[in-house]
Structure 1
Amino acid sequence: MKSESRNQPIGKVMHHELKQTLGTWQLWGIAVGLVISGEYFGWSYGWASAGTLGFVITAIFIAAMYTTFIFSFTELTTSIPHAGGPFAYARQAFGPTGGYLAGAATLVEFVFAPPAIALAIGAYLHVQFPGLEPKHAAMCAYLVFMALNIVGVQIAAAFELCVTLLAIFELLVFMGVVSPGFRWSNFTAGGWAGANTFSMGSFHGMFAAIPFAIWFFLAIEGVAMAAEEARNPKRSIPIAYITGILTLVVLAIGVMVFAGAAGDWTRLANINDPLPQAMKFIVGEHSGWMHMLVWLGLFGLVASFHGIILGYSRQIFALARAGYLPEWLSKVHPRFKTPHRAILAGGVVGIAAIYSDELIQFGGQTLTANIVTMSVFGAIVMYIISMLSLFKLRRTAPNMERPFRAPLFPLFPAFALIAALICLATMVYFNFLVAVVFAIFLVLGYVYFLLTRHQRDTAPADVLLEE
């Protein structure tokens, strides 16, 4: 492995350890829970540019990318069960600079996804309590779920599993309630970027909608950050990943089709609560079903919000433990054995994003859309680096223990890599201003990386990467 020198004894790492307590069901709950808010909001912004039919094509392409990616990514996760996830894989494959790029991209993905979800939680609560400011509700959500994550990973994972099961149940209820009004003609009307026939504009819109199709599945890879806390990661993580992605593909297709077929889908684009609004077409605004959906819908948002807090905290923790961030962020709570400082640090950034309308609302997109797009930029760059790491480690570390091997290698990882490159290129084209901001983050982070080599020289030896 390429690495910078380490002067500290391996035993020092004991002060930065996480507890191994998570089982297969809990990891599945984290895998689905991390993502399931993507079925509740965010994806409908894709209808605004691609139309319903155009977005179906985009979503199928992205679903294929995620399926092949997860089957390939699982090889890395089981071979290197590390809280840093992609950071650890890239560091093993490409050395410290590769680790920085993967770690920084993952950090952007996981730190910017929660404020978007928190704003959606605020929007759902605003439906029930019109006098409640959505941003204030979003901030309160941060405070509550940061506290829950600090209390302990076992409690956090059990809570995540419960709310994930409730969220899945709620999505099934939604599809059942709107099914009497299902009209395929509703879904197909103006389905090609607002037109009834396919044109070059439809093609343009499908590419522009890529970030919102990615939102359907964004962050499932966060299970990798819980690998150090899994009791048997080599067995439980493949099961959690594979069943998780299959669960999410089925739910994404079902929600999208049933919502679009319930009524005038153009009224659901560019809003943060498309499911309650779709249900209004069928049951009316004052129906008991409507109120039930809003309350149960919060479970889906809470599942992802809570799970991604777990993900970003482990990424910050791993980067700090390795000397890529200030060492004090890697401290574990003496009683709860959770990275409490990392949890709080990511929350401060997220809350700041929620209240930064003037800074983040640009390029003709809403605050939520820009936050979603920023998070997706981080994810796509991380996917590219992860697949490159897989290819590199297959070549340079052929004898590494691989409890799970990517099926149909090299076809699956190659498809995931090429699809991610296509997504990155189109996202830069359609979201140039957000891309510039993302690039500035990476450059500033790289300057910090170059100026703080001494932190990595004196960081505790990482047993998981040195062995």
Structure 2
Amino acid sequence: MDHQNSLKKSLKPIHLWAIAVGMVISGQYFGWNYGFEQGGIIGMVIAAVIITIFYTTFIFSYAELSTSIPNAGGPSAYARKAMGPFAGYIAGIACLLEFVFAPPAIAVATGAYIHFLVPSINPVYATVGVFVFFILVNLIGVKGAALIELVATILALIGLSIYYVAGLPHVQSANIFNEHSFIGGATGFMAAIPFAIWLFLAIEGGAMAAEEVENPRRDIPKGFISGIITLGIATVFTLLVTAGLGGGTGAPADYPLPQALASVYGDTHYLPKLLAVIGLFGLIASLHGIIIGYSRQTYALARAGYFPRFLSRLSNRGIPHWGLIVPGTIGVICAGSATFADALIIISVFGAVLMYCLSLLSLFVLRRKEPNMDRPFKVMYPIVPGIALALGFFSLFCVIKYSILTTNLPIFGVEISLLSAIVIIFTLSILYYFLVGSKNLRPLSDEFETKDESASA
């Protein structure tokens, strides 16, 4: 292994917890509430319960993979080891769909929050400015970036706690159980599944910092499991308080938590404004954390030979700077074209769920193919990963049927179906693989030498 091209080990469990929770925490502040419009309050709750079970079983399964193969490629590395280089490439592309298209959607919401607080600021300028700023922040080094992520995540959780304490005394059962509780029946709750996924989307991104964790065997399970517990508790209270304050009726807002508090305390009260300010830290934590994730995924794919090698070059601070800048430029362009934020969210969710299914299939294949592989953390096999895989396929079906097939994407003034856009992305990616990427792959033994070094660390 070329140590000049190796990431530095400087992260502890609390940093991994902060990265995992921070990547997701914006999902508590916006986006998920559109599920109320699809399935009603009860429909959204059913969807959230299903997705909470899915992510809990998935993250325990993912902990086995990430401790066995602590590689910055994450799902790409797992799929390659289990099913070969093409499977690894497709898993990597799916992961990049999630991690490249989620940040611009989050940046758009951040710009909207800033405009809400300071109307004189153009939301597009705020969106692009925030995105560029955090790309630059990530160039300072992973430990500094992780510290910023830790602070932003803690502040975001404090904001949620304020929301729960201020809102719980005013929760009314009539706001939860009414004619809007269960609209659309089974179709409604399945249509709400993609928005329930937004409550947990990207928690697995902590695995992409696996090579930078001081003790992957011990620390990765601690970071992941504490992360899913934190988010599970937050999801229960966020749904309960928002629905109980009447947030489950009317047109969905991009700032549902401040809106729900304003319905009780009034628009001029300091609490909705305070929550909007703190909510910015939730959006910033996710934006910042996912930028860490996409840069490591790009770095790992380039290091493996799938992408051009310059994307795996490290700066003097040990940061994959081209892996930050090139995908970040795509994200900034998308964020500046804020007219299709909803489509960006759907593309990101699709990429995530596809990647989850491929990762779980990799776990099953590796259990059969390499039964004696060193597994510092073992999930309860096959029950837990079996539940996760079944729910993963169900979620993929819901995302395709109720979101991708019903959404259009405006490009240069012409609307094309989101399905067509995704097909084009994968077609071009596969052509690149067979024409270029497959000819430059590093040997599998070199790619996973990282595992051996981590084991002896």
Common topology (TM > 0.5):
yes
Per the alignment, do residues 264 and 448 of structure 1 end up closer, same or farther by CA in structure 2, a change over 3 Å counting?
A: closer
User: Does the alignment pair 1:59 with 2:40?
Assistant: no
1:415 to 387, 392, 395: 387
Per the alignment, do residues 460 and 145 of structure 1 end up closer, same or farther by CA in structure 2, a change over 3 Å counting?
A: farther
Other-structure match for 1:441? 425
Q: Which amino acid aligns with 1:148?
A: V
Q: Which amino acid aligns with 1:403?
A: P
Distance in 2, Cα, partners of 1:466 & 1:287: 54
Per the alignment, do residues 167 and 457 of structure 1 end up closer, same or farther by CA in structure 2, a change over 3 Å counting?
A: closer
Alignment of 1:139-288 (within 5 A): 139-194=128-183, 201-263=184-246, 265-267=248-250, 269=252, 271-288=253-270
1:27 to 7, 16, 26: 16
**Contact preservation (8 Å) 1:54, 1:205:** yes
- Mind listing any 5+ residue stretches in structure 1 that lack a counterpart? 1-9, 195-200, 362-366
The superposition leaves residues 328-384 of structure 1 with CA deviations (integer Å, 9 ceiling, x where unpaired) of 1111012x1111111111211111212335xxx6xxxxx222111110100011011
Distance in 2, Cα, partners of 1:130 & 1:247: 33
User: Does the alignment pair 1:294 with 2:283?
Assistant: no
Identity of aligned residues (%): 43
Other-structure match for 1:392? 365
Distance in 2, Cα, partners of 1:294 & 1:436: 37
Paired residues, what number? 439
Q: Which amino acid aligns with 1:298?
A: L
Distance in 2, Cα, partners of 1:460 & 1:401: 15
TM-score (norm 2): 0.93
**Contact preservation (8 Å) 1:327, 1:455:** no
Distance in 2, Cα, partners of 1:310 & 1:237: 16
User: Does the alignment pair 1:68 with 2:52?
Assistant: no
1:458 positional shift: 8.9
2:400 to 384, 409, 428: 428
Other-structure match for 1:456? 441
Other-structure match for 1:331? 313
Per the alignment, do residues 90 and 29 of structure 1 end up closer, same or farther by CA in structure 2, a change over 3 Å counting?
A: same
Distance in 2, Cα, partners of 1:16 & 1:110: 22
Other-structure match for 1:7? none
Distance in 1, Cα, partners of 2:448 & 2:193: 39
Per the alignment, do residues 318 and 405 of structure 1 end up closer, same or farther by CA in structure 2, a change over 3 Å counting?
A: same
1:380 to 353, 358, 366: 353
User: Please, what is the CA RMSD of the aligned residues?
Assistant: 1.7
**Contact preservation (8 Å) 1:47, 1:193:** no
Distance in 1, Cα, partners of 2:133 & 2:431: 34
TM-score (norm 1): 0.91
1:15 positional shift: 3.0
Other-structure match for 2:411? none
Runs of 4+ off more than 4 Å:
457-460
Distance in 1, Cα, partners of 2:66 & 2:422: 26
**Contact preservation (8 Å) 1:377, 1:435:** no
Per the alignment, do residues 264 and 61 of structure 1 end up closer, same or farther by CA in structure 2, a change over 3 Å counting?
A: closer
**Contact preservation (8 Å) 1:322, 1:460:** no
User: Does the alignment pair 1:307 with 2:289?
Assistant: yes
**Contact preservation (8 Å) 1:88, 1:465:** no
1:463 positional shift: 4.5
Per the alignment, do residues 240 and 459 of structure 1 end up closer, same or farther by CA in structure 2, a change over 3 Å counting?
A: closer
The superposition leaves residues 270-306 of structure 1 with CA deviations (integer Å, 9 ceiling, x where unpaired) of x211111111111111111122111111111111110
Distance in 1, Cα, partners of 2:364 & 2:248: 42
2:71 to 82, 105, 111: 82
